[in-house]
């Protein structure tokens, strides 16, 4: 066992889990982690925590486990992701708001 690698954090790998959900896997401080790819809003993170899921911030170098200081301090920037649980997708009300695509003008007939 490598002595200096036991707390390794690795970049995420996107994988389809056996249940069909798209997930991200990585080593997070040496722990194998699999998260849903749906970013959480604060309500979603609270719900995840009280239902026993861990939460992480996705950074350029990998996932950072969100402990109480990270959650309260808000010092980490990046999407908040929760442990993947098969068959329990993130409800729409718990998803972080992302930019909506701009409405496209309807083109009726040839514009020329």
Residues in touch with Zn ion (CB under 5 A): 17, 19, 21, 86
* 6 versus 17: smaller Cβ distance to Zn ion: 17
Angstrom distance (rounded) from CA 18 to CA 97: 28
Instruction: Indicate the residue among 21 and 27 with the shorter CB distance to Zn ion.
Output: 21
Of residues 71 and 85, the one with the C-beta less far from Zn ion? 85
* Nearest distance from C-beta of residue 13 to Zn ion, angstroms: 15
Q: Return the residue matching tokens 């239902």.
A: 51
- Closest to Zn ion by CB, 7 vs 86, is 86
Residue 14 DSSP symbol? E
In the bound complex, what is the minimum distance in angstroms from residue 77's beta carbon to Zn ion? 28
CB of 81 to Zn ion, least distance (A): 14
Q: Would you put residue 15 in left (φ > 0), alpha (ψ -120 to 50) or beta?
A: beta
Contact indicator for 23, 16 with CB cutoff of 8 Å: yes
What count of other Cβ atoms lies within 10 Å of the Cβ of residue 3?
A: 5
Q: Least CB distance from residue 47 to Zn ion, whole Å?
A: 18
User: What 3-state class would DSSP assign to 50?
Assistant: helix
């Amino acid at each position: 066992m490598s002595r200096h690698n036991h707390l390794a954090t690795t970049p995420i790998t996107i994988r389809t889990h056996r249940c069909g959900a798209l997930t991200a896997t990585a080593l997070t401080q040496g722990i194998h982690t699999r998260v849903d790819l749906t970013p959480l809003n604060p309500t979603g993170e609270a719900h995840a925590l009280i239902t026993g899921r861990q939460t992480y911030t996705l950074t350029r170098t990998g996932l950072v486990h969100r402990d109480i200081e990270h959650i309260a301090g808000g010092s980490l920037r990046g999407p908040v992701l929760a442990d993947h649980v098969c068959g329990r997708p993130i409800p729409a009300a718990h998803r972080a708001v992302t930019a909506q695509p701009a409405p496209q003008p309807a083109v009726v007939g040839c514009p020329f």
